[in-house]
Amino acid sequence: MSFFIQDAYAAGGPAPQGGSQFITIIIFVVMIAFFWFFLIRPQQKRQKEHQKMLAAISKGDEVVTGGGVLGRVTELGDQFITLEVAQGVELHVQRQSIGAVMPKGTLKNL
C-alpha cells in the first residue's frame, strides 16, 4: 500500500526565523482601513441619506416602499405613515420601510 502514498520526511535545513511583528501590525492596520473605506463608511453615508429622506417626507408626497408598494402619503406619524394606494384603500407602513420618494405625478390614477 505504501506505493500510493510517498513517505514524508522532515527537511534537515535550519528552522525558519520568526517574522517581524511590525509587518503583522501593518497588515492588520491595512485590513482595518480597507474595511472602513470600502464597507463601513459607504453604509453610514447611505444610512444618513435615508434618514434625511425620511425626515423630509410630507403629506402628498408619492413614495415607494421597500416591498414595491407605490402610494401617496396621507398621514404622518413618528413611527408610521399612512399611504393611499388606490381610491379608498389606505395602508399603514413603518416609516423605515419607505425606500424612495417618487417625482410628483407618478401616481396619476389616484
Residue 14 banded pLDDT, cuts 50, 70, 90: low
* The pLDDT of residue 2 is above 90: no
- Asked if 59 and 76 touch (Cβ cutoff 8 Å), the reply is yes
Q: Element (H or E) spanning 93, and its range?
A: strand 89-94
Domain ranges of the chain: 20-56, 58-110
Q: Quick one: DSSP state of residue 13?
A: S
3-state class (DSSP) for residue 68: coil
Residue 48 banded pLDDT, cuts 50, 70, 90: very high
For 31-40, b/e burial (b = at least 16 CB within 10 A) is eeeeeeeeee
For the domain 58-110, what is the CATH code?
Answer: 2.30.30.60
β-bridge pairing 98-102 and 62-65: antiparallel
Q: What is the pTM of this model?
A: 0.67
Q: Quick one: DSSP state of residue 14?
A: P
